[in-house]
Chains A and B, each alone.
Chain A
Amino acid sequence: MSSSSLSVQGLAKRYGDFVALAPTDLVVADGEFLTLLGPSGSGKTTLLSLLAGLVPPDEGSVRIGSQDVTYAPPYERDIGVVFQNYALFPHMTIEENIAFPLKMRKVSAADAKRRAREALEMVHLPHIAGRYPRELSGGQQQRVALARCMVYKPSIILMDEPLGALDKKLREHMQLEIKRLHREMGTTIVYVTHDQEEAMTMSDRICLMNAGRIEQLGTPADLYFRPRTLFVADFLGESNILPADLRTRVGDEVEVGVGSSGVSGRALANGHDLPPGSSVRVMVRPQNLAVARHGASAMGVPAVGVQGRVSEVMVTGSLTKVYMEPLDRNLPPLVAAFPTRNEADAVRIDDVLTLSWSGRDAVVIADTAAPAAGTA
């Protein structure tokens, strides 16, 4: 995991006036599973295409292993690409498809055949070697595309939304399958998706992209619990984002006053070193909000908190979600989630609730994207 298998420096791509990728640095460790996550148009597919050599960059460099491959064509890079629509060759059998990269590498026909069979066994499809792509289901085509990519053991595999066309159940199954293959092969994988759940389940690290830039790079937990920007907090999972004033610092936490009424609460400073009086945002995940009926005290946590009127209650199964309009008009609508309980103490619409949270479960986000040093 120590040596880097892929490193990118100042890589950028423009199409006319449109900045598809602003100068970007990125290092991927050997054997790592890195996900490029972001909304459409965020630059993740552009970055992947630049890594694959499918489009030339305007500036910057790409290194694979110890080799500079910035301007190398795809066939001279030691990579494999799994395309969104699989791009299986329709005029070749499954076995011919899988043997194709070996044939291009001048592997003898007998050897290629043997290795293609082995690859098919790895993806649990040994019986379909003689069929054509269009005779397979979506999930089977997906696995063949993986096998075709893994058969020649490239040092990096790039995957462009490989599960986008599959239904939910199959997608979850294939996520496990890809994780298993990743573990068994030890290949470095760079994976593109716009599905944040998929990114959370599969990745060692997530590279969240927005508007052609890396918004935050870190482990799934980093991005989920310690987002650096509003975009990250908003993009990954549901969140409550409350405007607040910073009061004092207490260890690695800070005390803040929330909303116009200044209800006090705590949150992790998350490395921000801001002077008291700064206006910030505090993010709390719905499942970390403690809910108490107005006036009652909630499970040992001080029963001071933001008050809200229930506008909608949704039982999603194991979780009940409660949507609220805060009584403080300067706060945005809030959502809390807790394990679904018996009806007896169920929350009803128009109930007024008090919401509180532990300082370990909330995090400070600088109010705007941290102002650049040069602007002052």
Chain B
Amino acid sequence: MNGQSLTMTDTAGAKRHSPPPAWRKPVLMGAPLVLLLVAFLVFPVGQLLALSVYNGQGFTLAPYAQLFASSLYATVLWITLKISLATTLVAVVAAYPIAYLISVAKGPAKSRLIFWVLLSFWTSFLVRAFAWVVILGRNGVINSTLMSLGIIDRPLDLLYGFGAVLVGMVHAMLPLAVMTMLAVMENIDRTLPRAASTLGARPGTAFWTVYFPLSLPGVAASAIMVFVSAIGFFIVPALLGGRKETMITQLIIDQVQQTLNWGLAGAISVLLLTVVLIVFVLYDRVFGFASLTGESAVVRNRDTAMRRLGGRVLAALGSASDALIGIVPRRHPIAGRAERPLALTAFVWFLLVLISLPAFLMIPLSFGKGGLAWPPSGFTLQWYEQLLQSPIWMQALWRSIVVAFGTGLLAMAIGVPAAFLMVRGQMRGKGAMLAFILSPIVVPRMIIAVGMFYVFAQMGLVGTILGLVIGHTVVAVPYVVMTMMAVLRNYDTRLDMAAQSLGARPLAALRHVTFPILGAGMLSSFLFAFATSFDELTISLFSSGGLSATLPKQFWDEVTLQVSPVIAAVSTGLLLFVAALIWVADRMRRRSLAS
């Protein structure tokens, strides 16, 4: 009897001393990220929006009166929407074959394709936009080539128009479109189109009625990512657009930097944010947000008129492509049925060369004597000498590296536990939490940047490294969480259990098993954050202050004030840096796979 009561006390005691309450761990894992976003995303953006109805003394609608008084803002909004929609359409259509080919390719062919997409993805927006200035300019690549061939006598006005902006925007957004689409396409069961063909569907029909509908969530995700990025973009329209193709983000910059009219800046932000929100609500209605993370690529099954119509259109497309395929005689009956038709491969490589080429044009220019005019003449290293001897450039480079490292570390410290929580945690409201974590990607960068500037100014963080690290972490952390979530989903937790059953204490298991296996994934998350910060211009544009520029800010100032061939040297350096980074990351990934 005595023994039994003792046991019972023991059990009760054990329960009282049992590990801390179940809610503590998830809160500790998720809280830093939530606090960061509340303090440096929700609060600043809220402040900015509030400024549009509060002028320091009381409630006012004056900014909105100003907004609707002149037709300027409506016109600019219309142009913005037009450019964004056109960009989305072209980028998504061009991205589809690239993503498709990558998803069906295997081995080294796949790695090669991905390398080129990643190279454009990570090459600075500034470098790529500036390359188009060189290509399309009066003395640019196209005009010089056409003149030397005798096709035209006078240079054409290619720059500063809708066409130039569209080309630049599509070029900027295409890699993003490919990467987003690819996430969904990689998850499509490769046997389904084959099953369709055993059931009697010819290749065209199999593609349009089976593969294409399954890939639609990826297309939709990619379209919305491109649209939201495009609508908040200012680099391309500012460099290539001229006065007529002003986008709404440029108006916000003007209000903040030139007229210091915070109320109007706030009102324009409300306008921009409203448009984005409408688009997102529509998206959620049709596809659901889950498809954005590539988690569940399933279109809701509703038998609506739209669906039936869609089905008929796809069936028609299928028959049409089959008829088309039927015209071409099959030369190799067996090879002709391979999954990667030659024509598609050739077309995709053509696209990839096209999106990579502009940045590479910078290399010959950076060694030329003739400045930025095409074709480059002579050979000189003077632009590199100027660059290395310029304290402004060198300080900017150093500051960018410090900020990018800080951002990488902070984003990992905050994002990795949150990713563990999102993948392994059992809790309600995960979907809402994920939406919140991803919100820095969704809210146009310009609005975040202006709001942050306003708050940083009050806190004395403008022009400080800390301010930039915080600002960049806010926009980089969603990428860290997404990358780590993908890595963790592929990680078999039974390996941890196995390690523990073999005698490893939790820390030893983490050191010998978990981290070595996750290492490559963690490194790529870090590089993602690093690269995001290294190329970040919008936040730096305001918050780096006048004298403490980062590399992209210095680049921007240089490009907008005076165009010098030093820019070509900087661009070349950035391009090589990015290529080296991707190569290293890929080597690390392969080594971790090999072992």
16 other A-B residue contacts (CB within 8 Å) besides A73-B505, A75-B504, A104-B502: A52-B501, A53-B501, A71-B14, A74-B500, A75-B500, A75-B501, A75-B503, A81-B498, A85-B492, A89-B499, A90-B517, A91-B516, A91-B592, A100-B502, A105-B503, A152-B502
The docked-state distance in angstroms from the alpha carbon of A82 to that of B35 is 43
A148 contact set on B, CB distance < 8 A:
502
| Chain A residues with CB below 8 A from B38, complex form | none
The answer to whether B595 has its CB under 8 Å from any CB of chain A is yes
- Judge whether B497 and A100 touch: CB under 8 Å: no
Interface flag for B508 (CB, 8 Å) = yes
CB-CB under 8 A from A54, the residues of chain B are: 497, 500-501
> Chain A contacts of B495 at CB under 8 A?
87, 89-90
For window 138-169 of A, CB contacts with B under 8 Å fall at 148-149, 152
> B314 in the interface, Cβ–Cβ < 8 Å?
no
Residues on A with C-beta less than 8 A from B590 are: none
Question: B-side interface residues toward A, CB under 8 Å?
Answer: 11, 14, 18, 492, 494-495, 497-506, 508, 512-513, 516-517, 592, 594-595
| Contact in complex: B498, A104 (CB < 8 Å) | no
Query: A89-B513, A90-B517, A91-B595 known; A81 and B497 CB under 8 Å?
Result: yes
Evaluate contact between B497 and A74: CB separation under 8 angstroms: yes
* Residues of A contacting B497 in the complex (Cβ-Cβ under 8 angstroms): 52, 54, 74, 81, 83, 87
In this complex, what residue of A is CB-closest to B505?
A75
In the assembled complex, the CB of B57 is this many whole angstroms from the nearest CB of chain A, namely: 56
Residues A73 and B494 in contact, CB atoms below 8 Å apart: no
Q: Do B492 and A87 touch (CB < 8 A)? A: yes
Interface centre among B502, B505, B595 (most CB of A within 10 A): B502
Q: Is A284 interfacial (CB-CB < 8 Å)?
A: no
Residue A101 at the chain B interface, CB threshold 8 Å: yes
Q: Which residues of B sit under 8 angstroms from A92, Cβ to Cβ?
A: 595
Q: Determine how close the nearest CB of chain B comes to the CB of A111; give it in whole angstroms.
A: 15
Q: What B residues does A100 contact at CB under 8 A?
A: 499, 502, 504, 512
> With an 8 A cutoff between CB atoms, is A132 at the interface?
yes
Q: Which residue from chain B places its CB closest to the CB of A78 in the assembled complex?
A: B503
Which 10 A/B pairs are nearest by Cβ-Cβ distance? A87-B498, A104-B503, A101-B502, A81-B501, A74-B500, A74-B501, A87-B494, A91-B595, A104-B504, A75-B503
> Are A104 and B494 closer than 8 Å at their CB atoms?
no
Q: Which of A79, A83, A87, A92 has the largest number of chain B CB atoms within 10 A? A: A87
Let me know if B517 and A80 touch, CB within 8 A.
Answer: no
A71 CA to B18 CA, complexed, in Å: 10
Contact with B along A87-125 (1 / 0, CB 8 A): 101111000000011001100000000000000000000
Tell me the residues in window 150-190 of chain A with beta carbons closer than 8 Å to chain B beta carbons.
152
Distance from A303 Cβ to chain B, minimum over Cβ atoms (Å): 55
- What is the bound-complex CA distance between A89 and B518, given in angstroms? 12
Rounded to whole angstroms, the CA-CA distance of A87 and B508 in the bound complex is 17
Give complex CA distance A54, B495 in Å: 12
Expressed in whole angstroms, the Cα–Cα distance for A53 and B503 within the complex equals: 12
Which residue on B lies nearest to A132, using beta carbons? B595
Minimum distance in angstroms from A95 CB to a CB of chain B: 13
CB distance from A66 to the nearest CB of B (A): 16
**In the complex the two chains form, what is the Cα distance from A104 to B501 in whole Å?**
11
11 A–B contacts, CB within 8 A, in A order = A53-B500, A74-B501, A81-B498, A87-B492, A90-B517, A91-B517, A92-B595, A100-B499, A101-B502, A101-B503, A132-B595
